[in-house]
Amino acid sequence: MKEIDEIQKLFNTALDKVDTNDDLNEVRTAFLGKTGHLTNAMKLLKDMTAEAKKEFGVGINNLKTKILDMIESKKSELELAKINRELKNMPRVDLTVPCDECTGSLHPVTIIQDRLIQIFRSMGFTVEDGCEIETEYNNFEAVNVPKNHPARDMQDTFYLDNGELLKTHTSAIQNKIMRKYGAPLKAIFPGRCFRNEELDASHENTFFQMEGMMIDKNVSISNLIYFMKTMLTQVFGKEVDVRLRPGFFPFVEPGFELDCSCPYCGGKGCRVCKNGGWIELCPCGMIHPNVLRMGGIDPDEYQGFAFGLGLSRLVMMTYGFNDIRYLNGKDLKILSQTRLK
Ligand code: PHE
């Protein structure tokens, strides 16, 4: 079929010369337009014998499909070339220009979080990441808070249409970590948490925690006290004491509130510790056997401790913020005070 081969050749030559979208449109009209090569060729059909018509018809239709495909790929090619040209012409930012006046600063939460990560890493803990959106199972059931348990009241949160939720505590990651590593394990996992709270100077709907877990054979409360004391002594840069008071959390048994002797007055009493000499810092306890079991770890063989450090709280204390809302606020004057610390 001479005609078909010729049109194909003509088209290839024309397409080779295309540089712009306008050129491409011209080619399209020249071949597929009302009086285009392909349209004209189709007009020949009506004078053909049935036999020839069949053969020529199939050939010309195949050619049309091929031409349409080639036009589409040329179009993508042109678009890509355009993007590459634009990227090439974009002004370059010179990151080496000195600019003392306009340096940014790390967010106070980032600074304290990094410091804690360094300390825990030096004690052999791995650092894990978690999600902000979690399943109800991970946030509650997997840490021994079944449906209708009253402890859920204290942690109302924001639910998504698919039944998932914004995690209310970093404990929501415990189950995943246990399943990922099994026992023994030593891990911390900092993260942003959410609760449906009435907002005030000490309550925010979005805040930061840092969870820690250690699971091994013969782990006891002494290990918990040791790690917490070492960590706090390093955070505050001076020797501190810790004490445990009973506290209830369904995922630990026994559960505690850990207080730290006030690093600012050495326990004598000051504004930060509200004259009590102690600061309530960190709920913690020995991991409940149910939680271990749900994480695939045998509680008869392994024990562990867990703690949920209130990172936002520690930041407020360290930098003397009297309102938690500053941490999510946009006041750079307040947030960048920490630049040199
Ligand atoms: N997840 C608890 C909370 O946010 C804190 C916690 C963590 C308590 C680990 C005990 C052990 O309230």
| Domain final residue, candidates 58, 89, 120 | 89
pLDDT tens digits along 254-291: 999 999 999 989 889 998 888 999 999 999 999 999 99
Domain residues for the domain of 69 are 2-89
Residue 162 and residue 37 share a domain: no
pLDDT over 80 (residue 213) = yes
Per-residue pLDDT band at 3 (split at 50, 70, 90) = confident
Q: Is 249 in the pocket of ligand 1 (CB under 6 A)?
A: yes
Q: What pLDDT score was predicted for residue 102?
A: 66
Quote the mean pLDDT of the chain.
Answer: 92
Q: What pLDDT score was predicted for residue 340?
A: 44
What mean pLDDT do residues 132-156 have? 95
The verdict on whether omega for the bond into residue 299 sits within 30 degrees of 0, i.e. cis, is no
Do the domain assignments include residue 21?
yes
Within 8 A by CB and 6+ apart from 109, the residues are 208, 311, 312, 315, 327
From 143, 169, 281, 309, the mutation candidate for ligand 1 (largest count of ligand atoms within 8 A of CB) is 169
pLDDT over 80 (residue 339) = no
CATH number for the domain including 269?
A: 3.30.930.10
Residue 150 and residue 27 share a domain: no
Q: What pLDDT score was predicted for residue 338?
A: 63
Among the atoms of ligand 1, which is closest to the Cα of residue 310?
4
Q: Is 108 in the pocket of ligand 1 (CB under 6 A)?
A: no
Residue 285 and residue 232 share a domain: yes
Q: Which residue has the higher pLDDT, 340 or 199?
A: 199
Residue 167 and residue 139 share a domain: yes
Residue 286 and residue 179 share a domain: yes
Do the domain assignments include residue 64?
yes
pLDDT tens digits along 297-331: 999 999 999 999 999 999 998 888 889 999 999 88
Residue 190 and residue 327 share a domain: yes
Residue 139 and residue 80 share a domain: no
Total structural domains within the chain: 2
Buried/exposed code over 116-155 (b: 16+ C-beta within 10 A; e: otherwise): beebbeeeebeebebeeebbbebbbebbbbeeeeeebeeb
Residue 120 and residue 75 share a domain: no
Residue 278 and residue 195 share a domain: yes
Do the domain assignments include residue 98?
no
Q: Which residue has the higher pLDDT, 52 or 189?
A: 189
pLDDT over 50 (residue 46) = yes
pLDDT tens digits along 16-33: 999 999 999 999 999 999
pLDDT over 70 (residue 109) = yes
Do the domain assignments include residue 100?
no
CA angle, 318 then 321 then 323, to 5°: 140
Residue 58 and residue 150 share a domain: no
Q: Is 284 in the pocket of ligand 1 (CB under 6 A)?
A: yes
Residue 208 and residue 114 share a domain: yes
pLDDT over 70 (residue 208) = yes
CA atoms 113, 116, 118, 124: torsion sign: negative
Q: Is 74 in the pocket of ligand 1 (CB under 6 A)?
A: no
pLDDT over 60 (residue 73) = yes
The rounded Å distance from CA 62 to ligand 1 centre is 68
> What are residue 286's DSSP bridge partners?
305
pLDDT over 70 (residue 293) = yes
Half-sphere exposure of 134 (CA within 13 A, CB side): 28
Q: What pLDDT score was predicted for residue 2?
A: 78
From 189, 249, 256, the mutation candidate for ligand 1 (largest count of ligand atoms within 8 A of CB) is 249
Per-residue pLDDT band at 142 (split at 50, 70, 90) = very high
Q: Is 283 in the pocket of ligand 1 (CB under 6 A)?
A: yes
What mean pLDDT do residues 80-91 have? 91
Q: 88: which 2 tokens?
A: 């090439």
**pTM higher than 0.85, yes or no?**
no
Residue 130 and residue 57 share a domain: no
Q: What pLDDT score was predicted for residue 144?
A: 97
Least confident interval from 79-83, 91-95, 306-310:
91-95
